[in-house]
Amino acid sequence: MAGSEDTLRDTAGLEALISRAAAPGKGLPPVDKWNPDFCGDLDMEIKADGTWFYMGTPIGRQPLVRLFSTVLRKDADGRTYLVTPVEKVGIRVEDAPFLAVELDVAGEGDARVMTLRTNVGDIVEVSAGNPLRFVIDKVNGGLKPYLLVRGRLEALLARPVMYELVSHGEELIIDGKPMFAVRSKGSVFPIMPSGELEKLSQ
């Protein structure tokens, strides 16, 4: 019984933390403008699949996760924090804090616009201001695309979304080299040299 009371108290504490930020429904809180004292680390982790854990237990309430996502900030030290006007607490992030789970593609060529939706409800158009970057996983050699959502916070594209994105790729000459790339809102995002793509597909 005491365990369940502790859990309720912990959850209430989390919600209180959120309540000290901007009220929901009024847009994103201006976390980049807040400079509160660091209050230590919280036993919270965002796994690579986008699942949030608190004290080793998944946070099952999606509205609560969405609220937490609005007060996330990644600082120049490379760490990710939950930030309110009066406190800043560190959390762990296994890969990226967000996961891109849906892709919409409209138009062709330079007029093409790619729009991604994250697991916490962000809708982001791929552009020069919200670019894609691509890395090769050192463990399995697979392609990992990331989208800059806001600030320094990125979304890893879920595997099905990554395959859909790559299906819209094309070979373009960039700086005199043939590159496999995608286009959105007039910007070009190189994925890899065409020769490397051929090796991966063999």
For residues 135 and 154, state if they share a domain.
yes
For residues 73 and 112, state if they share a domain.
no
Handedness of CA 195, 198, 146, 136 (dihedral sign): negative
- Indicate the residue among 93, 108, 136 that finishes a domain: 93
- Read off the tokens for 168: 């819209």
Which CATH number does the domain housing residue 44 bear? 3.10.540.10
For residues 75 and 126, state if they share a domain.
no
* Per-residue pLDDT of the chain in tens (202 residues, 90 and over written 9): 334 344 334 545 556 655 555 444 567 889 999 999 999 999 999 999 999 999 999 998 888 899 899 999 999 999 999 998 989 999 999 999 999 999 999 998 889 999 999 999 999 999 999 999 999 888 887 889 999 999 999 999 999 999 999 999 999 988 889 999 999 999 999 998 887 766 655 4
For residues 169 and 137, state if they share a domain.
yes
Counted domains in the chain:
2
For residues 88 and 13, state if they share a domain.
yes
Quote the DSSP letter at residue 111: G
For residues 49 and 115, state if they share a domain.
no
- Could you tell me which residues are beta bridge partners of residue 89? 82
- Indicate the residue among 43, 68, 93 that finishes a domain: 93
Is 115 within 8 Å of 104 (Cβ atoms)? yes
Angle between helices 2-19 and 62-69 (to 10 degrees): 40
Sheet with 177-184, edge to edge strand ranges: 170-174, 177-184, 187-193
Task: Supply the pLDDT for residue 138.
Answer: 83
For residues 131 and 147, state if they share a domain.
yes
- Indicate the residue among 66, 93, 120 that finishes a domain: 93
Task: Supply the pLDDT for residue 17.
Answer: 58
pTM for this one? Answer: 0.84
For residues 75 and 15, state if they share a domain.
yes
Select from 134, 133, 132, 127 the least CA-distant residue to 110.
127
